[in-house]
Structure 1
Amino acid sequence: MDEGAGTFPSRERQWSMSEVPLRDRFAAWCDILGATHLAFAMDPSPQWHEGFSADIREHGLGSLSLLETSVEPHRGRRTRRQVNANTRDVIGLHFINSGRQAVDLQGRRVILGPGDAMIWDGSATGGYEILEPLKKTTLIVPRAVAATVLPSYRNSFVQPLPGDHPPTRFLIRMLSLLCEQLPLMDDGARQASAHLIAELLKPLGELHGDNSAQPLRVSRPALRERVLDYIGQNLADPALVPTAIAAAHGVSVRTLYSAVEGLGVSLARYIRDQRLARCYDALLFGADPIGTIALKNGFKSAAHFSTAFRERYGSTPREVRRRG
């Protein structure tokens, strides 16, 4: 790990997991997150043994810090234990550049993708899962600063930010520009930039007034694609229904239906057809029993599966299995 990278080592730091022995990466990643973001309990999934990698570059910005993170899929959770042991009283504003991340928001799962943003309070508990290689920009703000620039901000929650909010969009563009220019700036320029960012944060306080308890709409520049991808990854779940899909993406059912217009069939029918298509392939090329195939693909019973399959393909599952 190189903690002295950049033109001004005291203001620029960089960490690369590629420089850490594979056996030490789990502990190293926990330490790096604690030093740059917040402490999380990591899930030691199989990817830790398959060359897990991540890179973080930290730019000093007065009392703020700006982080550029590139990380591969993994899971983490901030429990009450990490909150109670907290040594950094901060909030983080996260802006997704590419990839997808799931966040547990008070019992519901929200998927964030390119163009989406969220605030994570350091005193909040919750979990996250990086679903695919992710690049994000994070602004770390001390709570003392947040109390001044975001006076109506409500503590202890994780909250999506509306990406179609003009001040949010402008802030994202400004942070992207700073990531490029900060390595060349001296202390005076950095301090001036910090004051500018503090001013740009103030309009976000409008989003946490009387309606702060209401979920804010997350920008969905590619909602259709992400919904279809989400369906493909969760076909095994019998509870995969439009209301659950809408909740997972932080949108209304009406917005969900609008996003997937043009499928040619209803969303429920699309889900069923996708399940049946996977079952068809499994019958032809797999060895699992028919009942197991049905359950693995979200059908509640073999009888229900057999009826739906015959309606779709004009053959029974057993007949397709014999052909395979």
Structure 2
Amino acid sequence: MTQPDDWSFRTHDRAEAVDAWSRMLSATHLSWSVTELDPDRQVGFGASVRRRHLADLILVDCTCDPNAGVRASREVAGTDGEYLVMLMTLRGREIVQQGGRQAALEPGSVVVWDSATPATFLVREPLIKRSLLVPKAALAEVGARGELMTGSVLDAGAPAVTLLSGYLEALSTTIDRLPLGALPAARNATIELLAAALQEPVRVPQTTVATRAAAEAHIMRHLREQRLSAAGVARAIGVSVRSLHRAFEDSGESVASFIRLRRLARARDDLAAGLTVGQVARRWHYTDPTHISRSFKRHFGVSPSDLTPPVASG
């Protein structure tokens, strides 16, 4: 099971509130600077945040009083890695601006913002919101295709968005009780649903879609096989190698990169489940622990040892 990180405070001291809220936001939602608090409130300013980790994903539930903030070039430059953040308004109203777009959010609204671009927010009334922070590299694991709709308000009534919202609600109430072995599956389901919610519809020939789907299914069934290759996949699903490559290239991805990223993702899941780096390297056909360490550092920005759960002391 995982342990949540909880923060909360309330104060009538304006300077103290700005400092405390800036630090809390930066610790839980990437780096932000608070620029304004509601000057007319007689009850002071208060906020509470609960943050939970799901491997490399972060789920944050937040409650706060009216305020405003900015994520300027300095805050962007001070952030390690790049993230997509899906923000769901559960109660209250908020305005988010990024990349020349302004989103007026109300209960049920969903917006996606990009950590690499400056942004501002304005909370007009007491707010309850949920944020999902996802490293951009993680979306490559599911072969996200087309133009991701970052900086835009998503259609909260769209089936994929509705499904993701419901899933995150259930995840928020159960994640603290999930056994360690279930976390990789929950994490991967979150990524799959997010990619579906973000995806703009694109027109792709049905034959290409069918080829890609058959190839992905075959690859995932045989991912442990060391000699898995494009030629073998094409032969197994009854298409030419050229047709197979075309099905993947239409999404900006190669067969080899698809296989490599899925093996890296499975290796990460095995590490999170408690396998050693050496065991994972052998299972997923890395020549040695140094090889897998280089691959992890290049894709995830961390070493395999950083993902190994701590050994409980007795």
User: Shorter-chain TM-score: what band?
Assistant: 0.5 to 0.7
The structure having more radius of gyration, on CA atoms, is 1
Q: Distance in 1 between matches of 2:20 and 2:72?
A: 19
Find the counterpart in structure 2 of residue 14 from structure 1: 6
What is the CA distance between 1:87 and its match in structure 2? 2.4
Find the counterpart in structure 2 of residue 281 from structure 1: none
What is the CA distance between 1:23 and its match in structure 2? 4.6
Deviates further, 48-57 or 110-119: 48-57
Q: Distance in 1 between matches of 2:48 and 2:147?
A: 31
Is 1:131 matched up with 2:124? yes
What is the aligned length?
A: 202
Is 1:32 matched up with 2:24? yes
Give structure 1 stretches of 5+ with no counterpart: 1-6, 211-324
Q: Could you tell me which of 174, 180, 192 is aligned with 2:173? A: 180
Is 1:52 matched up with 2:45? yes
Find the counterpart in structure 1 of residue 196 from structure 2: 203
Residues 150-229 of structure 1: pairs in structure 2 closer than 5 A: 151-152=144-145, 158-207=151-200
Q: Note the alpha carbon deviations across 1:69-88, whole angstroms, 9 max, x for none.
A: 11111001111121122224
Q: Could you tell me which of 88, 91, 105 is aligned with 1:112? A: 105
Q: Distance in 2 between matches of 1:74 and 1:82?
A: 18
Q: Note the alpha carbon deviations across 1:252-311, whole angstroms, 9 max, x for none.
A: xxxxxxxxxxxxxxxxxxxxxxxxxxxxxxxxxxxxxxxxxxxxxxxxxxxxxxxxxxxx
Q: Distance in 2 between matches of 1:153 and 1:31?
A: 36
Q: Distance in 1 between matches of 2:161 and 2:33?
A: 30
Q: Could you tell me whether the CA contact under 8 Å between 2:144 and 2:199 is conserved in 1? A: no
Q: Could you tell me whether the CA contact under 8 Å between 2:148 and 2:199 is conserved in 1? A: no
Find the counterpart in structure 1 of residue 254 from structure 2: none
Is 1:41 matched up with 2:23? no
Look up the equivalent residue of 2:30 and give its one-letter code: L
Q: Distance in 2 between matches of 1:208 and 1:34?
A: 34
Flag the 1:209–1:53 CA change in 2: closer, same or farther, 3 A: farther
Q: Note the alpha carbon deviations across 1:220-264, whole angstroms, 9 max, x for none.
A: xxxxxxxxxxxxxxxxxxxxxxxxxxxxxxxxxxxxxxxxxxxxx
What is the CA distance between 1:42 and its match in structure 2? 1.2
What is the CA distance between 1:121 and its match in structure 2? 0.6
Flag the 1:208–1:26 CA change in 2: closer, same or farther, 3 A: farther
Q: Distance in 1 between matches of 2:158 and 2:77?
A: 34
Q: Distance in 2 between matches of 1:156 and 1:170?
A: 17
Following TM superposition, where does structure 1 have runs of at least 4 consecutive aligned residues deviating by more than 4 angstroms?
19-23, 46-50, 152-157
- Percent of aligned pairs with the same residue? 26
SS where residue 103 of structure 1 aligns?
Answer: strand
